[in-house]
Amino acid sequence: MRVLVTRPKKEAQQWVQALIDAGYEALSFPLIGVLPAPDAQAVVAAWGRLASFDAVMFVSGNAVDHFFALKPALSLEFTDESATKIRVFVTGPGSLSALKRAQIDTRCIDMPDREAGQFDSESLWGVVAAQVRPGFRVLIVRGAGSALGSDGDASPAADGAGRDWFADHVRAAGGEVEFVVAYQRCMPEMTEADRALAQQAAADGTVWLFSSSEAIANLLAVCPEQEWCQAKAVVTHSRIARAAREAGFSVVCESRPTLAALMASIESLG
C-alpha cells in the first residue's frame, strides 16, 4: 500500500522511514513549505522581553526550532533553577522533541500526557489552566500562514495565523497574551510530476496522511480541478477530518498522532 505523508519535508522524514520499515511504500509529499521568520527582529526582540512572561507556548516543533535559531547570545535560559522560572507549554511529542534538541530543562515543560486522546490546545489547557491567573503573561510562538489573496500573493498576518482557542482561554482567566511569528508557512512547490502523482493517488487506493487542515487547503489550491471522491485519508484530528470530508475525500479515518496509531489506521484502510 502506498502512503503519501503530507507534512513539511523535514518533519515528514521520521514518519516516512517508519512506514517504509513497516513495509509500506511511503513517500514524502509535502503540502506545506516552511520559511524563516518574516521579521527576524521581532523574534530577537521577544527574546529580549522573555523575562516579562510567565510562560511561553510553542504551537509546533517548527515554532521551537525557528525561535531558538534566532536566540541571541547571553539570552535567558529555560532551567528549573532560573530565578524567572518561566514555564514552557507545548501540545505534543513533536514539539517536546524540538525542545530537547534545544536543550531545554524538561522540568520547565508542561504538555498533555502521552496517552491523551489528542495533542491539541484543549488537552494542553487541561494541564496548565490552574497556573493561569489574573496578570499571568503568555508569549505564544507560532507561524504565519500562507492564505492566498485574490492576486495570488501570500500575505501573512503580522501576528501569525492559527487557532486562538488557547489565547482566548488565557484571557478569559485574566491572563495576558502576546504573539510572535517565528516562521512562515508557504504554499508547496509543485512540479508536473507532483501533480500527476496527486491525480493518480486520488483514485488508486493510496492513503493520504494529513496532520494539518492547511495541507488539505493547499492540495485543493494546487490541484483545483481534481476530484477526491475516490480518495482515502488518515488524519490526526477531528478538525482535519472535517476539512478532508469537505474537500470530497470519501474515506476518512481519524487517528491519534502517534506512529503506532497511524499505522493501525492505515492498515484498516487496506
What is the C-alpha separation between 234 and 5, in angstroms, rounded?
10
Q: What is the pTM of this model?
A: 0.83
Interval 14-47: pLDDT, tens: 899 999 999 999 999 999 999 999 999 999 999 9
Q: What is the pLDDT of residues 75-134, one digit of tens each?
A: 877 876 665 689 999 998 889 999 999 999 999 999 998 777 678 899 999 999 999 999
Q: What pLDDT is attached to residue 29?
A: 97
CA 58, 59, 62, 63 dihedral sign is: negative
pLDDT at 157: 37
* Domain at 2-32+189-268: CATH code: 3.40.50.10090
Which residues does residue 144 pair with via DSSP β-bridges, in sequence order?
A: 184
Q: Where in the chain is the domain with CATH 3.40.50.10090?
A: 2-32+189-268, 34-186
**What percent of the chain stands above pLDDT 90?**
78
The predicted pLDDT at position 83 comes to: 57
Is the model's pLDDT at 73 over the cut of 50? yes
Q: What local confidence, expressed as pLDDT, does residue 91 receive? A: 93
**Secondary structure class of 40 (helix, strand, coil):** helix
As a dihedral over the C-alpha atoms of residue 96, residue 100, residue 102, residue 107, rounded to 10 degrees, the angle is 90
The pLDDT value recorded for residue 125 is 96
Does the pLDDT value for residue 220 go beyond 80? Answer: yes
Class at the top of the CATH hierarchy for domain 34-186: alpha beta
> Rounded to whole angstroms, how far apart are CA atoms 181 and 37?
6
